[in-house]
Structure 1
Amino acid sequence: MIALTLDRIAEITQSRISGPARPTDVVFGPVVIDSRRCEPGSLFVALGGEQVDGHDYARSAVAAGAAAVLGSRPVAAPQLLTDGGDEEVIAALGRLARAVTGELTGADTVGITGSSGKTTTKDLMAQVLDRLGPTVAPSGSYNNEIGHPLTVLRADSGTRFVVLEVAARGIGHIAHLCDIAPPRIGVVLNVGSAHVGEFGSREAIARAKGELVEALPSAADGGVAVLNADDDAVIAMAERTAARVVSYGLAPGAHVRAEDVGLDAAGRAGFTLRIGEDRAPVRLALVGAHQVHNALAVAAVAAEAGMGLADIAAALAEAGPRSRWRMEVTEAPGGTTVVNDAYNANPESVAAALRTLEAFGGRDGRVTHAVLGVMAELGEDSTEEHRRAGALAARSGVRTLVVVGEEAAPMAEGAGAEPGWDGEVVRVRDAGEATAALRGRLRGADVVMVKGSRVAGLEKVAEELTEGAPPAGEPAREMSGEDAK
């Protein structure tokens, strides 16, 4: 991060210098919450936890080079001490990030929100924008009130772009994150039914997601709202922002749009990217037709940043997956293709995954199988949404539908009631039973899709089926946030 003395950090964070810390000591390294990531000049943020308390690792953090410890309990180390426990430490972290953001005069901050697709779009965006200049983006889903400021604090005077996921647990949360790191460009991907049980309605989710566009500068001050023209709740947010609106999608009137969309034999999307009257062909390295909308959002931001159409198309084609368990394709030792999309699930993302699986099955008569777990936090719509997902799995032509867990049981009912489907439903209790059920049913070039909410832990199914295969994609190396919200 930008180098700051301890006395300046104490002023910003509203903390006090304690222990052997000297006011003129400088923090010039990363700000971290894991003492194992400390290095010379870093700042270690000590938080309590269910299993461990970061304060207990203060001495090891300093031994590794940390200039000081920001915490709420006195420790035998150079310290910036706050009152109020973890809540105040997190608030202090946010204040530090806000101050550093104000110093990043040469950087554009891009915020991305949506019910699904934030992490994939963020990964794609970071790879494309990095061609224009140094870009900071979180690993994995570092998108909550802790991960958000930690990501911002990785930026320095040479940073050109800061790309941030913006997640919401409720009304006002996105507004708070935008106050920590005010974006110039805001991207809204979609408003789905994920977490409708928590928010109460899709309308409430839209209110929360729209806080991003409300936080943007005016058009006169350079603010840009990038909105999905194919989602009615998203494009309606144009009325809630003073920023200039750039739309993207398949709709004929979108500013940035895709034409001639199709999938190849590996499930990768190809399309013609059109910006204004200019066109360029794109073949994504990512799997699934739903990646087209993610790519269009990235293209819109890249164009706003000054990248030419040909360069955008080339950058999109070369960008690969960076975060685990999101349409992660691996060939198992026996020749079966395993599509691990087990990071999270909601009705929209399950539908997208099944459409991709159907595309795989349409190639050379390959047999497809789906392992589906619970879609969490759907509230009173849960039973019906699970039935619909099961019916959709049957219509996609799967040979076997493995339904994992009691909460997902209505999927079995939905598939069984689908007219003309001659596949098999297998109900199991957990990931271990799901793997056992599949082993006797897979043959050669079959394709298996694994999808469920995090609580289902279905990544274990994919990992066991592909044991011994080369790893697909780069693992997320940092704390997970509230990715699906």
Structure 2
Amino acid sequence: MITIEHLYQLYLQHPVISTDTRKITPGSLFFALKGDKFDANTFAQKAIEAGAAYAVIDNPDYAAGERFLLVEDVLTALQDLARHHRRQLNIPVIGLTGTNGKTTTKELINAVLAQRFKTLATQGNLNNHIGVPLTILTVDSSHEMAVIEMGANHQKEIALLCTIAQPTHGLITNVGKAHLEGFGGVEGVKKGKGELYDYLAKSESEKVAFINSDDRVLREMQEARGLNNVVYYGKNSDPHNLISGKLLDNAPFLSLKWHNKNSLSYNVKSQLTGSYNLDNILAAICIGSFFGLNSDEINQGIEGYQPKNNRSQIMQTATNTLICDFYNANPSSMFVAIDNLDKVKAERKVMILGDMFEMGLESAAEHTSVIRKAMGAHVDERIFIGKDFSSQQSEVQNSNLLNTSFYLTAEDAIIGIKQNPITNATILIKGSRGMALERLVELF
């Protein structure tokens, strides 16, 4: 068995990690990870043939020479290698998690800090027990900061990711209703996300937490853990806030005014839609200010960030304005998206909502609550897609509101919308990733 120290020396010589034989980088280290339906040990020889310098395996049956490195467990070896590498890095690492907005907030923080520092941030959705170690292993000696997103769908996962990323600074965007099945309810979500605060509070050297002072739940979580080294931000004028701000406009992009403890005020325009993104922007401004960036650098970072990956993304077509927010969905994010569309000024507004996944025993109640919320919004048409929404259709049977449709599948919705085209409207499209609502975009 190869030791982590020996593996690390090989990593320093070959500092690129590959996990997919279809995307082998010549000279890389191939880690033969297992999945539910595959065992990459069987692809180790193919990885070497494709140009990998070494293949890390945990089945001795596939050790076909010195370039096959045998470990007890490949995933554990990957995580241990990342931990070992992280200990060699003497840079700030900002770890962030939360129910909603963590990816957008991560991107905003990175956009701001990159105005002065060479940063590295989590790419795509590499925020789990595999993605975080892969991200850490892309940090090199040239980087001055790292922004690491940590996702979870069950308890103890954030705790694990903290041992790998070892954040010096941390941020929880919020705590809401998501992955209820895995976390075991809302209290389970609070406990799971709070593992980041646990790590920051119990670390030997003092760590810093950035906390939204407007969020009562986060303040209670902070106090329960005795977390004292805190930097606050928020929309209120709390004198403890390093940064405070307020929304000026959302038509459809957010513009805001923010000020620091010296009462100096600055205006900034973003390319984000959705008033719920104000907190995410303020978090990035707060972190930029904490690390010494001036107002021009901070505003350039905010103004230059363009949302992508179908998160709070505005798309203008020939006949409609689309609010593409269908990367994922949960009750908390559904509510704020509905509120935002309600406030948007437009001649015609349409809401298209797809099922929310991983709701467990709360699924019926949560889909019902979203339907009720949607029915109370000032919009011209509502379209619900998916078996979970459709099963709660009785919620609107006694309503006098017209122009409300339910479709069992996205395919059914596509047929229905083609028969009744939507034009000259602002359209919110939101649902869980598994609904693949991007298929609807071409209809508009």
Give the 3-state SS of the residue equivalent to 1:216 in structure 2: helix
Question: Are the counterparts in 2 of residues 223 and 243 from structure 1 also a CA contact under 8 Å?
Answer: no
CA deviation vs aligned residue, 1:293-314 (integer Å, no higher than 9, x gap): 1111112221222212332122
1:186 is matched with 170
Once the two structures are superposed, what CA deviation does each residue of 1:156-178 show, in whole Å capped at 9, x if it has no partner? Answer: 11111111111223222211111
Q: Matched residue of 1:112: which SS?
A: strand
Higher RCO (C-alpha 8 Å, min separation 6): 1
Matched residue, 1:358: 342
| Distance change (3 Å), C-alpha of 1:24 and 1:119 | closer
Contact 1:225/1:241 (<8 A) preserved: no
The answer as to 2:200 corresponding to 1:211 is no
Change (3 A) 1:79 1:252: same
RMSD of equivalent CA atoms: 2.6
Query: Which deviations, in whole Å up to 9, do the C-alpha atoms of 1:320-340 show, x marking residues without a partner?
Result: 114x121232233x4222222
**What is the CA distance between 1:414 and its match in structure 2?**
4.1
Instruction: Choose the corresponding residue for 1:391, options 359, 372, 381.
Output: 372
* Contact map agreement 2:250 2:273 (CA 8 A) in 1: no
Alignment counterpart, residue 4 of structure 2, candidates 2, 6, 12: 12
Q: Give 1:98 deviation, angstroms.
A: 0.5
Does residue 1:340 correspond to 2:357, yes or no?
no
Q: Which residue of 2 aligns with 1:161?
A: 145
1:371–1:434 CA contact under 8 A, matched in 2: no
Q: CA deviation at 1:270?
A: 1.2
TM-fit CA distance, 1:208: 1.4
Does the 8 Å contact 2:116/2:297 carry over to 1?
no
1:33-65, Cα deviation, whole Å (9 max, x unpaired) = 123433243211112334544334334433443
> In the alignment, residue 85 of structure 2 is paired with which amino acid?
V
3-state SS in 1 of match to 2:327: coil
* Post-superposition CA distance 1:216-258 (Å, at most 9, x none): 2679945210112222221223221545111222233161455
Tell me how far 1:349 sits from its aligned partner.
Answer: 0.5
Q: Residues 91 and 218 (structure 1 numbering): CA distance in 2 closer, same or farther, change over 3 Å?
A: closer
Contact 2:250-2:275 within 8 A present in 1 as well: no
Say whether residues 1:81 and 2:63 are aligned partners.
Answer: no
* Alignment correspondent of 1:465: 443
Residues 387, 409 of structure 2: 8 Å contact kept: no
**Which one of the candidate residues 85, 93, 96 is aligned to 2:81?**
96
1:229 equivalent in structure 2:
213
Please tell me the residue identity of whatever aligns with 1:11.
T
2:57 matched to which residue of 1?
71
Normalised to the residue count of structure 1, the TM-score between the two structures is: 0.83
Q: What are the Cα deviations for residues 91-117 of structure 1, in whole angstroms up to 9, with x where unaligned?
A: 111100011001111x21111111111
Partner-residue secondary structure (3-state), 1:171: coil
Which digits, 9 at most, give the CA deviation of each residue in 1:126-171, with x for residues without a partner? 2222222221122222111100100000001111111111122322
The answer to whether 1:248 aligns with 2:233 is yes
Q: What residue is the counterpart of 1:469 in the other structure?
A: none
Report the 3-state secondary structure (helix = DSSP H, G, I; strand = E; otherwise coil) of the residue aligned with 1:439: helix
Q: Which runs of 5+ in 2 are unaligned?
A: none
Q: Which residue type is aligned with residue 34 of structure 1?
A: D
Is the 8 Å Cα contact of residues 27 and 43 (structure 1) preserved in structure 2? no
Counterpart-to-counterpart distance in 1, 2:412 and 2:85? 49
Q: How many Å separate the matches in 2 of 1:25 and 1:425?
A: 57
Quick check: 1:283 aligned with 2:269?
Answer: yes
Amino acid at match of 1:79: F
Partners of 1:264 and 1:249 in 2: CA distance: 18
1:124 lines up with 2:116 in the alignment: no
Counterparts of 1:26-41 in structure 2 under 5 Å?
A: 27-41=13-27
Structure 1's 269 and 416: CA in aligned 2 closer, same or farther, altered over 3 A? farther
Q: Return structure 1 stretches of 4+ with deviation > 6 angstroms.
A: 217-220
1:4 counterpart residue number: none
Q: Does 1:373 align with 2:354?
A: yes
Alignment CA distance shift 1:329-1:442 (3 Å)? farther
C-alpha separation in 2, matches of 1:197 and 1:55: 32
Give the Cα separation in 2 of the matches to 1:331 and 1:287: 13
Write the deviation string for residues 259-314 of structure 1: whole angstroms up to 9, x where unpaired.
4414343x211111122122211211111111111111112221222212332122
1:450 and 2:424 are equivalent in the alignment? no
| 1:406 matched residue in structure 2 | 387
1:215 is paired with a residue whose SS is: helix
Counterpart of 1:117, as a letter, is G
Q: Deviations over 1:12-37 (max 9, x none)?
A: 1787x9xxxxx879633311212343
Percent identity of paired positions between Structure 1 and Structure 2: 30
Q: Is the 8 A contact 2:63 2:69 kept in 1?
A: no
One-letter code aligned to 1:403: F
> Structure 2 counterpart of 1:407, which letter?
D
SS at match of 1:402: strand
**Amino acid in structure 2 at the alignment position of 1:384:** A
Q: Which amino acid aligns with 2:145?
A: F
Query: Secondary structure at the residue paired with 1:170?
Result: coil
AA paired with 1:183? P
Query: 2 CA distance for matches of 1:151 and 1:24?
Result: 18
Range with greater deviation from structure 2 (171-180 or 217-226): 217-226
Contact 1:184/1:223 (8 A) holds in 2? yes
Task: Specify every segment of 5 or more residues in structure 1 that has no aligned partner in the other structure, as ranges.
Answer: 1-6, 18-22, 467-485
For 2:293 and 2:392, the matched residues in 1 are separated by 45
Which moved further from structure 2: 57-66 or 301-310?
57-66
Matched residue, 1:473: none
Change (3 A) 1:14 1:95: farther
1:197–1:450 distance in 2 versus 1, CA, 3 Å: same
Question: Higher mean Cα deviation, 123-132 or 55-64?
Answer: 55-64
Question: Which segment is superposed worse, 271-280 or 63-72?
Answer: 63-72
Give the aligned residue type for 2:81: L
8 Å CA contact retained: 2:31, 2:57: yes
- Counterpart CA distance in 2 for 1:346 and 1:443 is 26
Hey, what's the Cα distance between the residues in 2 that align with 1:457 and 1:443? 19
Moved more, 210-219 or 144-153: 210-219
Taking a change above 3 Å as real, the CA distance of residues 54 and 31 of structure 1, as seen in their structure-2 partners, is same
TM-score under structure 2 length normalisation? 0.90
